Amino acid sequence: MYGGGFIPDENPKKQTEAVAEDPALLAEFQARIDRGEKIEPHDWMPAMYRKQLIRMIEQHAHSEIIGALPEGTWITRAPGFRRKMALIAKVQDEIGHGHLLYTAAETLGKPREQMINDLLSGKSKYSNVFNYPAVTWADVTVIGFLIDAAAIVNQLANSKGSYGPYCRALERICAEEAFHLKQGHDAFVYLATGTPQQHEMLQAAVNRWYKPIIHFFGPSDKESVHSEQLMRWKVKMASNDDMRNQFLDMYVPKVREVGIDFPDPNLKKDPETGKWNFSDPDWDEFYEVIKGNGPCNAERLAVRKWAEEKGRWVRQALATPYTKSTVPLA
C-alpha cells in the first residue's frame, strides 16, 4: 500500500542514513519535489522521507498537546473574564492542532496510539519550550505572544513544503495561530504599558523565556542533524538559523518598542550580513531539556499520563460498537 514502509522500531540514530532504494524512483521523487509538487499519502516515497516526516509531525503534535499545559494551568487564574475566554479558546485550539497533526502523521502509517505511547514513554520528543514553568500571568503573555510568533515563523514557511497533509494542516493551524498572536500581543502591550509592577513582571518573564525561545528553532545549522536532507526534500523550508534570524528580525523591534528588552547585551543585528548576533544561549541546557531533564519534563508527562488513564473509559465507550443491547431500557 505505502512506498518504503513504516518501520516502527528502527534506531532513530539511523534516520539520516540512506536506505537502498530504486535509483530511478528516488530520482523521480526528487524531481517531483524540485518541481514543487505535493506528495500525497499513497504516492511512492523513500522510506527515510516517510520516517523523517513521522518524526517531525509527531513531535509537532506532541508539542501542541503538551504546549497547552503551561497556559492551561492559568485558565482559572486569568485576570478578568475576557482574558479567561480568550485563553480557554486558545488552549482548545492547541489541542485541536494536536489532533490535526496526529491525523497528518497517521497518513504515513504510524497509529496514533503508538505515537501517544512513545510520548508517554519519553521515546518521542516535543518542543523544549514547554518544559519551563509559567510562573506568573506575564509568562502566559510571553507564550501567547513570542512562542506563538516563533511557531508561526516556522509553520508558515513549512506550510509551503512538500507533504500535502502536513502542509494543509499547517495552513489551518497558522490561521488560528495568527489570532493567538493578536491576543498575545494585546496582553503583552497591556502589561508593558501598564503600572510599573506590570512592566517589571513582564520584563522578568521575558528574561526567563529568552533562552528557551532562542533554543526553540533548534541547534545552529552546523549542529543540526536533519536539516540538510529535510531541506532537500522541502520538509523544512528554511534552516534553523534562518528561521531564528527571521523571528529576531520581526520581533525584537516589537518587544523594544514597548520598552521591554531581551536580557542579552550581545543581541544586535549585524548591518553588513543582516544576521542577528547573540550570546551563547547555553546549548548544554537545551540538550538536557530535550533529553527529559528540564524543569518541568516530569510534571508535563505526569499530567499527560493522568489524562490518558482518566480518559480511557471514554475511548473504550467510543470504540464499542453500537448495538440495541447496549441501549439502556427506558
Catalog residues that contact ligand FAQ under the rule CB under 6 A: 12, 55-56, 59-60, 63-64, 67-68, 94, 125, 127-128, 143, 147-148, 151, 154, 215-219, 224-227, 230, 236, 240, 290
Q: State in angstroms the smallest separation of the CB of 2 from ligand FAQ.
A: 21
Query: Half-sphere exposure (CA, 13 Å, Cβ side) for 195?
Result: 3
Q: State in angstroms the smallest separation of the CB of 12 from ligand FAQ.
A: 6
What is the grid cell recorded at 324?
A: 440495541
Q: State in angstroms the smallest separation of the CB of 106 from ligand FAQ.
A: 17
- Which of 45/139 has CB closer to ligand FAQ? 139
Q: State in angstroms the smallest separation of the CB of 272 from ligand FAQ.
A: 26
DSSP state for residue 329 in the 8-state scheme: P
- Which of 207/224 has CB closer to ligand FAQ? 224
| Residue with cell string 505505502 | 2
Q: CA-to-CA distance for 259 and 47, rounded, in angstroms?
A: 50
Q: CA-to-CA distance for 248 and 245, rounded, in angstroms?
A: 5
Q: CA-to-CA distance for 306 and 302, rounded, in angstroms?
A: 6
Alpha helices in 4-143 (DSSP H): 23-34, 47-72, 81-106, 112-120, 137-142
Q: State in angstroms the smallest separation of the CB of 13 from ligand FAQ.
A: 8
Q: Are residues 239 and 225 in contact, defined by beta-carbon separation less than 8 angstroms?
A: no
Q: How far is CA 169 from the centre of its chain?
A: 13
Q: Are residues 294 and 286 in contact, defined by beta-carbon separation less than 8 angstroms?
A: no
To 10 degrees, what angle do helices 148-158 and 164-192 make?
Answer: 150
Q: State in angstroms the smallest separation of the CB of 217 from ligand FAQ.
A: 6
- Which of 45/211 has CB closer to ligand FAQ? 211
- Which of 123/312 has CB closer to ligand FAQ? 123
Q: CA-to-CA distance for 173 and 207, rounded, in angstroms?
A: 28
- Which of 260/290 has CB closer to ligand FAQ? 290
C-alpha distance from residue 242 to each of 156, 239, 247 (Å)? 13, 5, 9
- Residue number, nearest CB to ligand FAQ: 67
Q: State in angstroms the smallest separation of the CB of 177 from ligand FAQ.
A: 7
- Which of 107/127 has CB closer to ligand FAQ? 127
- Which of 141/203 has CB closer to ligand FAQ? 141
